[in-house]
Amino acid sequence: MGRKKKKQSKPWCWYCNREFEDEKILIQHQKAKHFKCHICHKKLYTGPGLSIHCMQVHKEAIDKVPNSLPNRSNIEIEIYGMEGIPQADLKEHERQKAGSRPSGSDDEEDDEPAAKKPKPEGLLGTAPGVMPGMPMMQGMMPPHMQGMPPGMQMGHMMAMGPMGPHFMHHGMPMMPPHMAMMQQQGGPPKPLFPSAVPSSSPSSAVVGADFKPITSGATISAPPTTNNLSASSSTSSAPDTSKVNTITTTSAASKIIHPAEDISLEEIRARHHKYKKSIPTKVERESPHTQSTSSVASDLAMAVSAAHQAAVRQQDIIHQAQAAMMQRFPPMRPPISIAGTPVSSMSLVAPMRPMAIPGPPTLLGGPIMRPPMGMPPGMIGMPPGVLYGPPMFGTGPVIMQPRFR
Amino acid sequence: MFNQSPFGQTAAQSVPNPMKDYEVTSPPDDSISCLSFSPATIPQNFLIAGSWDNHVRCWEVEQTGRTIPKSMQTCGGPVLDVCWSDDGTKVFMAGCDKQAKAWDLGSNQVVQVAAHDAPIKTCHWIKAPNYSCLMTGSWDKTLKFWDTRSPNPILSLNLPDRCYCADVDYPMAVVGTAGRQIIIYQLEGKPEEYKRTESPLKYQHRCVAIFKDKKKVPTGYALGSVEGRVAIQYVNPTSPKDNFTFKCHRSTGALNGFQDIYAVNDIAFHSVHGTLATVGSDGTFSFWDKDARTKLKPSEAMEQPITRCAFNNSGQIFAYAVSYDWSKGHEFYNTSKKNYIFLRSCYDELKPRSSP
């Protein structure tokens, strides 16, 4: 009976629910894991201590205890080892300890074998027990310091004011604002697994180990996923995940926003059917190194000749399109001339659109970047000389406008 | 200090342009995978962007902030990286079609200059006194160097794993690979491996950028991982304390008490001030001073992740691309969302604060 009592009151960390063999180690753990300044890595003694340190030394507000469970992140509660833990939480912890034992918990004899391997048991057991309660705690959280100090931000926006709004005039279709929310909210509920994985592996490491190359998950290189990319035919994602390492978060209170597979986002994306289609097109398989020959060459020949033949016509198109663009930005004109640098801006414009024929703006304004289907890739591009031709350089230096100085 | 509204960030989510920056006209139709400004050898500013829609686009950026679409080229697959030649006459484009191509802007011709056995993730132009070449890093675990006239690489080096990120600043190159490897190359004479170092980060490498010392000599690199963390690493640190990591692109967890950790998608150093910008899957960019170890400026959150960023050569314009980066999987890929490239006047914002 008495022995039992001692076991149950094993010291535990209020912030992360971990149990320790004795309170000294618990205090070490708290200093390293929960009271360490993330900026200078100084170890403080309590949550409020950390908060004051960050505020005074780094001018940063800390709103939560690092690496803490969501409902235990209150930085204002002063906890040192087992001291300062709210009574209610102490009781709850005892209750959960008792409750999470697998066998008939009333019978004390049965507890004995289970207690032989207390660590994994307790850690796995506590995670699910704690998580569900978490959302309720939100109201209690101290206000967050996010974003920038208001003064700085506003000041900057004001500075942008007179010039900035120009862009708001153009006719680009804007996304309805509510659409953006989907991304943020729609994520799956935070999984429980991250808490189980990491807390068992560094169980002996008391130190926060911020710089230590642990995390077995990511060290060993993944099997060649490039095979999957080139093997075009079968992209069964399920087998992949089993072979490939996964990305797991080391803290119960955080989640890395990344697909579980530990390969780059681009590799994952390239497997998507939308992009796979376009990869195995033309050239590729036939002797890739015959620069400027084979199909590339034919494309090129077309493009080149087309470019030459259509140079004049293109120029017209571009002129018209640019004229159209000019029309789209009526408010752009005054600043240019007001800024007192008509030389630079106008001379750049002049050789390219003489007389600025105002063509039909609505037709040509947008599609300049998107050639009609049948056109070879080179067609719509800049005709020789327009971009790099002498007229542009001949007109004298580009004078910096105040905007980008 | 304490009474700031915790709702500021979430409210900003719905605004397409929360920072009121200049929007590039006719943006790509799919996510933007790479951004690059023309080098100082050209008086104007041209911006090149590659996209998952297989196209590479070129705009002229006027000093007023206005952008003029100039031209477009098509690749055989999604484009993963672009770079400029040092003289500004060519743009190199590499991607999922396993090729790199040179786009001669003067003649508007495109020529294949490199090939790999797997998609090419990075391409960089190397300009050395005695040679110039294109460096390509691929998922086929090789790093190759091409003189653009020969169908064979002048050099092919094996990587320990797939190339995920790279940067070049003569005479230094750095490559980050899968399996958290990092390899430094020296490019003087000819490219050769200089050093392999243990990664300072515990999670997948995502982006890397070389920084210079006060004398403008490349001296180290910043490495970003998917776990919202950047490591500042010196190649030859004078003291072990020179190297450090910092956290970024993490939510403060206002919504549900959890902290969401986002990938650092790109890092860029400011050519004049030596300060840096990071962009992340959380849809924000931040400006940092690595020497003072302070954050200079955070941004509001965009409605989608920021995939890439770039400074122009004079450090006056900061370009960032807002588009989906697959960080939440294909389920969150929404083709009806518009992709944006924004331009920000940034020179003053990247000035280090303390002036001794």
ipTM: 0.91
B50: containing domain? 16-323+339-345
Of A253-262, A328-337, A381-390, B103-112, which one has max mean pLDDT?
B103-112
Structure-model confidence comparison of residues A90 and A127, the more confident one:
A90
Q: What are phi and psi of B273, to 5 degrees?
A: -85, -20
Mean pLDDT of chain A: 53
Q: Give domain status of residue A128, yes or no.
A: yes
Structure-model confidence comparison of residues A110 and B184, the more confident one:
B184
Q: Does B41 touch chain A (CB under 8 A)?
A: no
Is residue A249 very low, low, confident or very high in pLDDT (cuts 50, 70, 90)?
low
Task: With a cut of 60, say whether residue A402 has pLDDT above it.
Answer: no
CATH code, B48: 2.130.10.10
Task: With a cut of 50, say whether residue A329 has pLDDT above it.
Answer: no
pTM, 2 dp = 0.56
Tell me the pLDDT tens digit for each residue of A373-386: 433 444 344 444 33
Is residue A154 very low, low, confident or very high in pLDDT (cuts 50, 70, 90)?
very low
Query: Looking at the partner chain, which of A184, A226, A387 has a beta carbon nearest the beta carbon of B118?
Result: A226
Mean pLDDT score, A241-265: 76
Q: Which two tokens stand for residue B62?
A: 């006027």
Task: With a cut of 60, say whether residue B143 has pLDDT above it.
Answer: yes
Q: Does A284 touch chain B (CB under 8 A)?
A: yes
Interface contact flag, A180 B14, Cβ < 8 Å: yes
Would you call B229 helix, strand, or coil by DSSP? strand
Q: Does B71 touch chain A (CB under 8 A)?
A: yes
Number of domains chain B is built from: 1
Structure-token match 């965009």, residue found: B302
Please report the pLDDT score of residue B93 as a whole number.
97
Contact residues, chain A, for B313 at CB < 8 Å: none
Q: Give domain status of residue B8, yes or no.
A: no
Structure-model confidence comparison of residues A403 and A361, the more confident one:
A403
Task: With a cut of 90, say whether residue A390 has pLDDT above it.
Answer: no
Task: List the 329-358 stretch of A: residues with Cβ below 8 A of B.
Answer: 329, 332, 335-336, 339, 341, 344-345, 348
Please report the pLDDT score of residue A94 as a whole number.
81
A100: containing domain? 2-139
Mean pLDDT score, B71-82: 95
Please tell me chain B's helix, strand, coil percentages from 3-state DSSP, rounded to the nearest 5. 5, 50, 45
Number of domains chain A is built from: 2
Last residue of some domain: A93, A120, A139? A139
Please report the pLDDT score of residue A275 as a whole number.
87
Measure the CA angle with vertex A260, ends A257 and A263; round to 5°: 100
Mutation pick from B255, B326, B341 vs chain A, by most beta carbons of A within 10 Å, is: B326
Task: With a cut of 80, say whether residue A353 has pLDDT above it.
Answer: no
Tell me the pLDDT tens digit for each residue of B273-322: 999 999 999 999 999 999 999 999 999 999 999 999 999 999 999 999 99
Structure-model confidence comparison of residues A198 and A78, the more confident one:
A78
Q: Give domain status of residue B234, yes or no.
A: yes
Tell me the pLDDT tens digit for each residue of A257-314: 899 888 999 999 999 888 876 554 444 343 444 343 334 344 444 444 444 444 445 4
Tell me the pLDDT tens digit for each residue of A30-80: 888 899 888 888 888 888 888 888 888 887 778 888 888 878 888 888 888
Q: Give domain status of residue A264, yes or no.
A: no
Shortest Cα–Cα distance, B171 to chain A (Å)? 28
Q: Give domain status of residue B205, yes or no.
A: yes
Mutation pick from A63, A65, A144 vs chain B, by most beta carbons of B within 10 Å, is: A144
Contact residues, chain B, for A344 at CB < 8 Å: 63
Is residue B67 very low, low, confident or very high in pLDDT (cuts 50, 70, 90)?
very high
Q: Does B356 touch chain A (CB under 8 A)?
A: no
For residues A370-380, one letter each, b for 16 or more C-beta atoms within 10 angstroms of the residue's C-beta and e for the rest, the string is ebeeeebbbbb
Task: With a cut of 50, say whether residue B246 has pLDDT above it.
Answer: yes
Is residue A86 very low, low, confident or very high in pLDDT (cuts 50, 70, 90)?
confident
Mean pLDDT score, A210-215: 33
Please report the pLDDT score of residue A293 as a whole number.
37
Please report the pLDDT score of residue A244 as a whole number.
61
**Least confident span in A83-97, B81-95, B215-229:** A83-97
Last residue of some domain: A85, A106, A139? A139
Please report the pLDDT score of residue A18 as a whole number.
86
Mean pLDDT score, A194-203: 32
**Least confident span in A199-213, A325-339, B287-301:** A199-213
Please report the pLDDT score of residue B14 as a whole number.
64
Contact residues, chain B, for A399 at CB < 8 Å: 63
Structure-model confidence comparison of residues A132 and B130, the more confident one:
B130
Q: Does B131 touch chain A (CB under 8 A)?
A: no
Q: Does A155 touch chain B (CB under 8 A)?
A: no
Q: Give domain status of residue B329, yes or no.
A: no
Q: Which residues contact A203 (CB under 8 A, 6 or more apart)?
A: A119, A120, A123
Please report the pLDDT score of residue B353 as a whole number.
82
- Dihedral (C-alpha) B177, B181, B182, B183: value to the nearest 10 degrees? -90
**Least confident span in A86-90, A276-280, B60-64, B124-128:** A276-280
Please report the pLDDT score of residue A384 as a whole number.
40
Is residue B196 very low, low, confident or very high in pLDDT (cuts 50, 70, 90)?
very high
Please tell me the distance from the alpha carbon of residue B253 to that of residue B256, in angstroms, as a whole number: 6
Sheet strands side by side (includes B142-146) = B120-127, B132-138, B142-146, B155-158
Please tell me the distance from the alpha carbon of residue A355 to that of residue A368, in angstroms, as a whole number: 20
Last residue of some domain: A104, A139, A174? A139
Tell me what percent of the residues of chain B surpass a pLDDT of 70: 94
Q: Which residues contact B82 (CB under 8 A, 6 or more apart)?
A: B34, B35, B36, B48, B49, B50, B56, B91, B92, B93, B94, B123
Please tell me the distance from the alpha carbon of residue A189 to that of residue A192, in angstroms, as a whole number: 9
Tell me the pLDDT tens digit for each residue of A116-140: 333 333 222 333 333 333 333 443 4
Give the DSSP letter string of B179-214.
GGEEEEEE-SSS-EEEEEEE-S-SS-EEEEEEEE-T
